[in-house]
Structure 1
Amino acid sequence: MSRALAWGAALVILLGAAVLAGGAAPSSSVMAPALGPRDPELARCQALGEAGGQDPRCRAAWALARARFFGGAAS
């Protein structure tokens, strides 16, 4: 019985050490490089800020972007 208890305690200690060692690994903080805008018209509209909501070209660009994303017809 004491032999099984010793093996069990050793197993618990080893598993605990493995968990702690795995948590000590440095996190990967490498970020993907920033990509340029896929649609320059949407980038232009974003730069306009609130005024982009009134711009007809921006409204058309957003409608096309929604249609591409959702797979429906542009409205």
Structure 2
Amino acid sequence: MLPNELYQKFTQILPDRKLPKPEQYLYTKWLRYYWDFCHKYHHNPLIPTSLSLFLSKLQEKKQSVQQQNQAKFAIGLLYD
């Protein structure tokens, strides 16, 4: 589960990016998945090297390239 403060900040920046509501939901979902993945496998979610590990896991789970790109974009927003 995302910390409330992080969730609040993340959901505040999404409208600033002029993203449609359905995409905002998807990006928030991917951030939650990433956060859970990092905690489950003991990776620091705030360092970019964890992203490549997460994307590898998505490939392993047969997630589409589009889904991997959505996740990459969402997590990139976290790092910004």
Same fold (TM over 0.5): no
Higher-Rg member (1/2): 1
By relative contact order (CA 8 Å, sep 6+), the higher-ranking structure is 2
Q: Which structure shows the bigger proportion of residues in helix conformation?
A: 2
TM-score (norm 2): 0.27
